Every structure is written in structure tokens, then in C-alpha cells.
Amino acid sequence: MPGIRFVVDAGTARVKRYSYRHKVEQLQIEPISQAAANQRAGRCGRVAAGVCIRLYDEAGFAARPAFTDPEILRSSLASVILRMKSLGLGEVEDFPFLEAPPRKAIADGYALLAELDAVDEQLALTDLGRALARLPLDPKIGRMILAAQERGCLTEMLVIASAMSCQDVRDRPLEAQAAADARHKPFDDERSEFMGTLRLWHWIEEGRGHGTAQATHKLSNRQQEARLREHFINPRRVREWRDVHAQLHTVVAEHGWRLNTAPASYEELHRSLLTGLLGNVGLKSDEDEHYLGARGIKFWRHPGAHLSRKPGRWIMVAELVETTRLFGRGIAAIEPTWIAEVGAHLIKRQLLEPHWERKAGEVVALERGTLYGLLLYANRRVSYSKVDAAVAREIFIREALVQGDVPPDWDQRFAFLPHNRRAIRSVEALEHKSRRQDLLVDDALIEAYYGEHLGPEVCSGPTLERWYRTARRQAPDVLKLTPEELMRHEAAGITTQAFPKMVRLGGVDCAATYLHEPGDARDGVTVTVPLYALNQVQEARCEWLVPGMLKDKVQVLCKSLHQKARSRLVPLPEFAAEFCELCTFAEGSLTHTACGAEGRLQAGAVAAPPADEPARGG
């Protein structure tokens, strides 16, 4: 350049590169190329001979690459892919670039477009993608503007979008950092740097006479520039900001979109911003000051963040830039529910523990939602019938209808439920009397019965009620089970005479209950005798129990005999059956009657039953 005769070349530069892995921009200091070094040397020799002092040796210069990597290899390809698809130029992989980008860069571009909902699963443009392609903007910025147009916050969004497209207008010189921070503080917001950007814009516009009703009169250009410098605001960057804002206004006018006149709410504005920044959300770590970001990254709040207090637990940032560490710039507090709604097409959902809920009257699962590995919500109750109706139907039949876990009012609404419970209890009573547990069919067969007779659409309380109302008109006894359908086989010998409900003891009819539960004190038959009749109960009558248990009782008595005496009675089952057929029930002592039967038992060979439990047996 004119007047420059000497140049000192340190051999390094801060180069902007895009990380395909972490989806962030990096500003790392790295050695410059030979072409960049020659360009620096040329700045001191354009009009006359000059001197370039390089702070590295000639061998280091020769080892450097000949040219700087082209920008297409250092940038996100989302905008390129979007433009090529909209123009019908074919697949980006097949385009004859002079230096073709790597496949991972292409995959990253498609991933960003999918994040913006611009392409579908087949990588074809969606309606939203075609609308984005018509905007001459970065896809992220364009997505925000489209959302703002729908949500009625386009006026504020144009200001913020133009600011994101330019360098920050605030200056912070090293020699006056404290003074600059004090001047910038009135523009800071508690929750969002974007809101601070709006405050700064309104303050600048007030100096031009375009602010609110309380704004000052219009200042001259010199006065406005002095006002900006006094507050450490760069006038040149402000002009650039306003130029970009005017260009965005032109784009909006070309599409016929109307700007909102009423101020936009915080939620609507930041929901619109979130549509383009779903990959830049963060969750505050409980252990440190860093934030957990998408795809497992960690980032920190930028030291120069313009916030009057610390942001909330969930934030989004305008950009992630890696210098000494990964920093987030342009921070705003958000709610996780906004992420779940705006990024619904990206959320990975897991449904856990589908189960029947009696109060809700349906099968419910617990939903867990994550976005790029960040847990947005957990244990959200979801109707499982909308996800998998077949499995919901199985759980409903098994837990509600078979196991009977239903609300109390269902007995009045569905007549088959109390009827079937009574039928099951009657079969269970036969099992206790016969002392066997193979009469009642298992739950799987009852479940199969309901599955066969219920309509295929029944998987909850409301669907059952609609189906049952129609089915009952055609068949009043629909879904009613009979004891015969609940029994595996005939319960021969289980009659009222063999197992009476009442046993007469001491001249009083006493209630008899039956239980088959070995080890339980009530196992067998239990007769409840009133206290006033207890002294009238005869021990001999208690030995007989009930007719249905007599054969087993005699067989056990015979087994208690000495081996020599017992050998004359074998086979014992035939002897017990013959005894029950020939003897008169409940006459005399069972022990003495059995001992005298056909002369085959010696008198006194069988001990009498225990005297302390006269009314029990089994």
C-alpha cells in the first residue's frame, strides 16, 4: 500500500472453519499458506521496493501449503444444497466442483436442512424448503423470518436477523473496557441478548428521529456519530446494520408480507428464533458453569455476553464459536416445552412401561423425549392405543377385564363383569371343596375368550362402552361366562349333599366353609359353632366331618395303622370307598365304626382324632 515500506509477518492467522462434527464455527489460529504469505509481502512493495520481515524460517515457509483452502471446504453446505435443489441442478454429489467438498460436508448440509425442516426423509425439498430457497438469505436466518411472519413478530425479527448477519456494533477497546461496559449496560436484558439488540436498535433510531413518542428530535449526522462514539458504538457497523436491515425489508416487501405494528411477546419472538437454532440449545450442567449442548458437546457462556444476570437452565445461542474454548454468543433463556413443539420433527421419543390405569380408563405409557441427546421431558403420560392399538388391547383385556382392576362404577355399566366374578368364585369354591386346583381355567384362556368375543377396536374404557352398548342390543348375555365354560372338566362328586353349606352340631345348623390351603390353620372344612351350643357338640360327630371328605379321612386313618394291620386292608383306596358306601354317615364314632368294618380292623387299633380340634379336619 502507498506509504508502507515495511511489513512484519508473524506467519499465523485466525481462520474461520466450520466443524462438521460439532456443527460449530471455529476461529483457530493456524499457519497461513504460501500464497497468503506472498500477499502480505506484496503490501509493502506496490509502488516501490519494500521489506517484509517474516518471523519464521525458510524451511517453515516451504513446508506450508501452497494455497489457502477454498471457502467451500471451510463452510456449511446447507445453503449451496438448498440453492442447487431449487434450481434443479441435480445432486450435489455429482456436481463437477473444481475442488469437490468431502462427503461428510455434504451429509452435514443435509442434516442442517433436515433440522430446519427444509427436506424430508428422502432428501427432497419440502414446501418450507422451497419457501426458504426463494429467500436470498442464510437458511437459518430465512427459517427464522418465515416463522416470524407466521407468528406476527416480523418487525422485531428483521432487526435481529440483520444484526446476526453483521459484526457486533458495540466496541470494547482494551484501554477503556470498564467505561464501554458501563455505557453498554443500559441495553442489557435479564433473559435475552436478542432483546438487548432490540433496545440498542430503538436507541439508535431515536437519535434519527424514528423512535417512540418520547424520542429526542432528529440529530444531524455529525451529532448522531458523536452520540454513538460516546456510547462506544461503531458508526460504520451501524451503517452496515441498517443497510442489511433495509435489504431484508425489500425482501419482505417483494413477498407481500406485512410487518406487525403491535410489539411482539418474548415467547413468540424466541419461538421464531428457535426454529433456526435448534442445534444451538443448551442445558445448564449441575456440576460446572458449562452447558450441555447438542450431540454431546459442552460450551460456555461468552465472557462478553450482554446480559444483566445469569441465563436460565435452558438457553439457545445465536452461534457457537471455538477459540480458546467453545463459547456461545447471543444467549437467550427458553423453555424446554418450546423446544418440544418447535423441534417436534427432530425429537426422538421412547415409550416406556405401557400399563393399565384404572382412573384414566385406558392403557398409558410413559414418554421420554430427547433432542440430539438432551433430555427434554420424561414420564409424560401418552395414550398407548394411539401408538400400538394391538398391544394396548392385550393389556386392557388382561389387566382390566381378566384381573378385574376396574373403577367401581363399571359394575353398573357392564353387567358381564359382576356376573363373571360370581361365576369364577363358584368354580373356586368347588376347587376348595374338592381340594384340587385344576378345575378353574387359567387367565390365558379367559383372556382368549374376551379377545375372541370383543370387537377389534376395544382397547379402553370408552371404546368398550361404545361397543358394549351396541352388542348388548343384539345379545343381552354377551361376554357372560358360565361355570361350565370356566371349568376344565366336570367336578364329579362335588354336590351340595357331599359338601353342605350347613352342618348340624349340637342340634344347631352351623355354617361350614371350605379352604384348600395346606399349612393354613383353616385348611379343610371349618364349622362355626355358636358359643351357646358349644358344650352340646359331640366329639363323635366331629370325626365324620362332611360326606365329601369321608373317603380321604378313612384312607388317612388306615395309613396311621401299624404295617401288619394295614397290610390286611390294601388296597386302601378300595377299602375306603367300600366303607363309605356301606356305612351310615355320622352314626357313632367314625373310629369305632371303621375298626369294626367287616371284621378287618382290630378294636382300638386306630387312634381317635385329636380332641383339641373337634370341629376341623382335612
Domain ranges of the chain: 1-69, 139-340, 349-485, 502-617
C-alpha cell at 407: 373403577
Judge whether 274 and 339 are in contact, CB under 8 Å. yes
What pLDDT was estimated at residue 425? 87
Contacts of 365 (CB under 8 A, 6+ apart): 351, 352, 353, 354, 355, 381, 382, 384, 387
pLDDT(606) > 50: no
Three-state DSSP class for 322?
strand
**pLDDT tens-digit series, residues 361-385:** 999 999 999 999 999 999 999 999 9
What pLDDT was estimated at residue 612? 40
Q: How far apart are CA 549 and CA 617, in angstroms?
A: 9
Q: How far apart are CA 567 and CA 75, in angstroms?
A: 101
Confidence of residue 217 (pLDDT cuts 50, 70, 90): low
What is the CB-side half-sphere exposure of residue 355 using CA atoms within 13 A? 10
Tell whether omega for the bond before 571 is within 30 degrees of 0, i.e. cis.
yes
Contacts of 253 (CB under 8 A, 6+ apart): none
Where do runs of H (alpha helix) occur along 475-546? 483-486, 539-544
Judge whether 419 and 479 are in contact, CB under 8 Å. no
Three-state DSSP class for 70?
coil
Q: How far apart are CA 123 and CA 392, in angstroms?
A: 34
Judge whether 281 and 294 are in contact, CB under 8 Å. yes
Q: What is the CA radius of gyration of the chain?
A: 44
What pLDDT was estimated at residue 580? 80
pLDDT, average across residues 466-490 = 87
Please tell me which residue, 327 or 609, carries the higher pLDDT value.
327
| Secondary element (H or E) of residue 28 | strand 24-31
C-alpha cell at 33: 499458506
Please tell me which residue, 436 or 57, carries the higher pLDDT value.
57
pLDDT(215) > 50: no
- Among 103-112, 215-224, 273-282, 288-297, top mean pLDDT goes to 273-282
CB-based burial label for 474 (10 Å; 0-12, 13-18, 19+):
exposed
Q: What percent of the chain has pLDDT over 70?
A: 93
Q: Would you say the pTM of this structure is higher than 0.85?
A: no
pLDDT, average across residues 471-489 = 86
- What does DSSP say about strands 51-54 and 6-9: parallel, antiparallel, or unpaired? parallel
- What does DSSP say about strands 314-322 and 281-284: parallel, antiparallel, or unpaired? antiparallel
**pLDDT tens-digit series, residues 371-429:** 999 999 999 999 999 999 999 999 999 999 999 999 989 999 999 999 999 999 888 88
* Angle CA 307–313–314, to nearest 5: 90
CB-based burial label for 284 (10 Å; 0-12, 13-18, 19+):
middle
Low-confidence winner among 249-253, 261-265, 412-416, 575-579 (lowest mean pLDDT): 575-579
pLDDT(610) > 70: no
- The architecture of the domain spanning 1-69 is 3-Layer(aba) Sandwich (3.40)
What pLDDT was estimated at residue 607? 37
Judge whether 416 and 480 are in contact, CB under 8 Å. yes
What is the CB-side half-sphere exposure of residue 254 using CA atoms within 13 A? 9
Mean pLDDT (the chain, rounded) = 87
Q: How far apart are CA 413 and CA 76, in angstroms?
A: 63
pLDDT, average across residues 519-534 = 87
* Angle CA 509–514–518, to nearest 5: 140
- C-beta atoms surrounding 549 within 10 Å: 20
Q: How far apart are CA 458 and CA 362, in angstroms?
A: 10
What pLDDT was estimated at residue 587? 78
pLDDT(46) > 80: no
Confidence of residue 599 (pLDDT cuts 50, 70, 90): low
What pLDDT was estimated at residue 484? 81
